[in-house]
A and B are shown apart, each in its own frame.
Chain A
Amino acid sequence: GDSVTQMEGPVTLSEEAFLTINCTYTATGYPSLFWYVQYPGEGLQLLLKATKADDKGSNKGFEATYRKETTSFHLEKGSVQVSDSAVYFCALKRNSGYALNFGKGTSLLVTP
């Protein structure tokens, strides 16, 4: 079945460091891919998405490119801030359905 695998955290970075959170997926066909972010005590919020191969999603300085050849959707940011501290979830959605399939989440802590 469909699945999403994320790198395990927690990830701890200093402010202004470069961030990469790896995400790979297994799915039949051509799913849509998403990154969601969860701040402490809150629900998940959509950060960015890509719906077809080679698409790049971007938002708030974060980027991720849909790579079908490597079945990956890695999240990157050039310079993280303390306010980026949160849990990040990679997710996929089959084009035949409406439900999201989430990875386990990666906790990010950015220190001043």
Chain B
Amino acid sequence: DAGVIQSPRHEVTEMGQEVTLRCKPISGHDYLFWYRQTMMRGLELLIYFNNNVPIDDSGMPEDRFSAKMPNASFSTLKIQPSEPRDSAVYFCASSPRTGGGRNNEQFFGPGTRLTVL
């Protein structure tokens, strides 16, 4: 299996522009998570989905952020408009549901490094 795939790996944009980050989870995984990593706050959960349905979006910082999962093999995280403080590494992770699911491993993608100038 190719693992969790994220694109782009690096994104540099100017303040005010729309940014779309993409994620393809591991096939067969029911859960998908979006995290943000910064030096100041470490790793923060932004949102997670179960079977394409958003379950908890309490970590989404503000209305400029939105996430969708139109099908089991694709998710997007969009920032519109982007601001310099959004600069971070954004990780996508997926997890299977077998065996109860709660203690199953989350498999992380390589991340997208976003720089907003």
Is A69 at the interface (CB under 8 A from chain B)? no
Residue pair A43, B102 in contact (C-beta under 8 Å): no
Is B105 at the interface (CB under 8 A from chain A)? yes
Residue pair A105, B102 in contact (C-beta under 8 Å): no
Among B43-51, B67-75, B80-88, the one that faces the other chain is B43-51
Min CB distance B58 to A, Å, is 10
Scoring A residues 88 to 104 as 1 if CB is less than 8 Å from chain B, else 0, what string do you get?
Answer: 01000101011111111
Q: Which residues of B contact A32 (CB under 8 A)?
A: 102-103
Residue pair B111, A43 in contact (C-beta under 8 Å): yes
With beta carbons under 8 angstroms apart, the residue of A36, A51, A99 that contacts B48 is: A99
Residue pair B110, A105 in contact (C-beta under 8 Å): no
If over half of B's interface residues share one DSSP class (helix, strand or loop), that class is named, otherwise mixed; here it is strand
Is A41 at the interface (CB under 8 A from chain B)? yes
Residue pair B42, A97 in contact (C-beta under 8 Å): no
With beta carbons under 8 angstroms apart, the residue of A41, A98, A101, A102 that contacts B31 is: A98
Residue pair A51, B42 in contact (C-beta under 8 Å): no
User: Given A49-B103, A93-B103, A97-B102, does the pair A103, B42 have CB atoms closer than 8 Å?
Assistant: yes
Scoring B residues 48 to 82 as 1 if CB is less than 8 Å from chain A, else 0, what string do you get?
Answer: 10100001100000000000000000000000000
Residue pair B108, A45 in contact (C-beta under 8 Å): yes
Residue pair A98, B42 in contact (C-beta under 8 Å): no
Interface residues of A in 63-112 (CB under 8 A from B): 89, 93, 95, 97-105
With beta carbons under 8 angstroms apart, the residue of B43, B102, B109 that contacts A98 is: B102
B residues in contact (CB < 8 Å) with A = 4, 31, 33, 42-43, 45, 48, 50, 55-56, 91, 93, 95, 101-103, 105-106, 108-111
